């Protein structure tokens, strides 16, 4: 069964940084596009970023462009989200997700999420 386990969330002050990790297992990680999607408390889903299977191509939501960086290590089956210059509005549960399959890039399978709280 596909497993995506996020870690690295927590409480951080405005202007601070955090790095989220997502450890994948039970599938050929290097064949799949990977995503980060967030959900503020009581709100809907918002796409944050995605990265191609080989790590060469990346996309970001305008709200995080220039502050967040997505990366991956296919040898470690892990995708990362480096978050800098954090703001209160970045407070959310951050979900790691995998594409449906190697040929279908849409968001398919989700991890359980990690909570990021930006507050002084």
Partner 1 sequence: QSVLTQPPSASWTPGQRVTISCSGSSSNIGTNNVYWYQQLPGTAPKLLIYSNNRRPSGVPDRFSGSKSGTSASLAISGLRSEDEADYYCAAWDDSLSGVVFGGGTKLTVL
Interface with partner 1 (CB under 8 A)? 35, 37, 44-47, 50, 59-62, 95, 100, 104-113
- Which is nearer to partner 1, 23 or 45 (by Cβ)? 45
Rounded-to-integer distance, Cα 102 and Cα 52, Å:
10
Least distance (Å) between residue 12 CB and partner 1: 22
Q: How far is the CB of 96 from partner 1 (least distance, A)?
A: 10
Helix (H, G, I), strand (E, B) or coil at 29: helix
Beta bridge partners of 18: 83
Task: Write the CB contacts of 21 (distance below 8 Å, at least 6 apart in sequence).
Answer: 6, 7, 8, 78, 79, 80
Q: How far is the CB of 92 from partner 1 (least distance, A)?
A: 13
Q: Which residues contact 65 (CB under 8 A, 6 or more apart)?
A: none
CB of 16 to partner 1, least distance (A): 25
Q: Which CB atom, from 15 or from 32, has the smaller least distance to partner 1?
A: 32
């Amino acid at each position: 069964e596909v497993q995506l386990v996020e870690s690295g969330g927590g409480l951080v002050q405005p202007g601070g940084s955090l790095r989220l990790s997502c450890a994948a297992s039970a599938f050929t990680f290097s064949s799949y596009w990977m995503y980060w999607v967030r959900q503020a408390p009581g709100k809907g889903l918002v796409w944050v970023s995605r990265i191609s299977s080989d790590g060469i191509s990346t996309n970001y939501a305008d709200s995080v462009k220039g502050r967040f960086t997505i990366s991956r290590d296919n040898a470690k089956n892990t995708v990362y989200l480096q978050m800098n210059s954090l703001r209160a509005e970045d407070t959310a549960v951050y979900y790691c997700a995998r594409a449906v399959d190697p040929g279908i890039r849409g968001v398919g399978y989700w991890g359980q999420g990690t909570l990021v709280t930006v507050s002084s």
